[in-house]
Amino acid sequence: MGNFFTNLDRRWIFLGMAVVVAIPMLQGLSFPEEPSEMVRDVFKAVDELPDGSNILMAYDYDPATKGELEPMAATFTRHCAKKKHKLYFITLWPAAVPMLRQNIDILENEFGNDYTYGENYVNLGFRPGSEGVIKVVVTDLKDLFANDVNGEALQDIPMTRNIKNIQQMDLIVNVSAGTPGAKEWVQYAASKYQIKMVAGVTGVGAPALYPYVPNQLTGLLGAIKAAAEYEQAVSEAYPEFNDNPATKEALRRMGPQLIAHLYIVALIILGNVIHFTEKKRGVPR
């Protein structure tokens, strides 16, 4: 038995991980979340804006990180739509174009009566150039975005007609999986032009952005836990969302996350037990 664990094939570990994630997911295990201070700051940043404010929805993530970031992006979209904010969707990642579309589908399907394309939301799509795009749109949006994704001139769309640049945005909401992403939006837009900004990033990306909170970044959502807390905050403020199961995506993922974390803790303990047992026996590694 001892030998089995000493020379444990990593495939047993992988199988264990698959089992501990699959079972809670199938069981629908979930737990209540208490929004932390940083999540509350993000919530307030969106909620305390006057209805109908201009929000730049900069979604820079791809299918690989969709699992972690889609719930927070969708919650941002729903929260802003509830406040009847004017939403300008944009991305710096080519693979994020379908992600924008999925969020627009949320507006069409869930807010279709109150939300009209061109008057309440617009999809500007993707432009290549990474942070170069940000440097242009902070001074002249139409220099790079003459048309929206449908080919319609911004000059002809009611909500973009009088928008010269993103300095006219009341808030930047950025969901980002890497580079270019939140850091670039902070450095070249939010900080330089004093535009209020909140961001949602993956767990590994959050520590790099803590230095920007709270001066350059009003609030930060880091990892799926923060997304779950934000969903909790939004559904507490707007109970009508509780009828829609799609608003609980992040909360649903916290159950498997908890069990997986406990599994990793158990693996670490097991690894150390093996280590000390071998040390005691004087077994060279």
Instruction: Give, as ranges, the residues between 182 and 201 that touch another protein (CB under 8 A).
Output: 187, 191-192
Q: Is 119 exposed, middle or buried (0-12, 13-18, 19+ CB in 10 A)?
A: exposed
36 near another protein (CB under 8 A)? yes
The DSSP string of 143-157 is HH-SB-TTS-BGGGS
170 Cβ contact list (under 8 Å, min separation 6): 49, 53, 54, 55, 196
Q: Confirm or reject binding of residue 31 to another protein (CB under 8 A).
A: yes
Q: Which of residues 202-231 bind another protein (CB under 8 A)?
A: 202, 204-208, 210-211, 213, 222-223, 225
Residues of span 103-162 touching another protein by CB under 8 A: 128-130, 132, 135-136, 139, 147, 149-152, 162
Q: Which is nearer to another protein, 34 or 243 (CB)?
A: 34
Number of residues binding to another protein, judged by CB under 8 A:
73
- 220-279: contacts with another protein (CB under 8 A): 222-223, 225, 254, 257-258, 260-265, 267-268, 270-272, 275-276
At 93, give phi and psi (nearest 5°).
Answer: -110, 130
* Smaller CB separation from another protein, 240 or 281: 281
Separation in Å, CA 176 to CA 3, 53, 93, 260:
45, 22, 10, 24
Are 48 and 81 contacting, i.e. CB atoms less than 8 angstroms apart? no
Is 47 an interacting residue with respect to another protein (CB under 8 A)? no
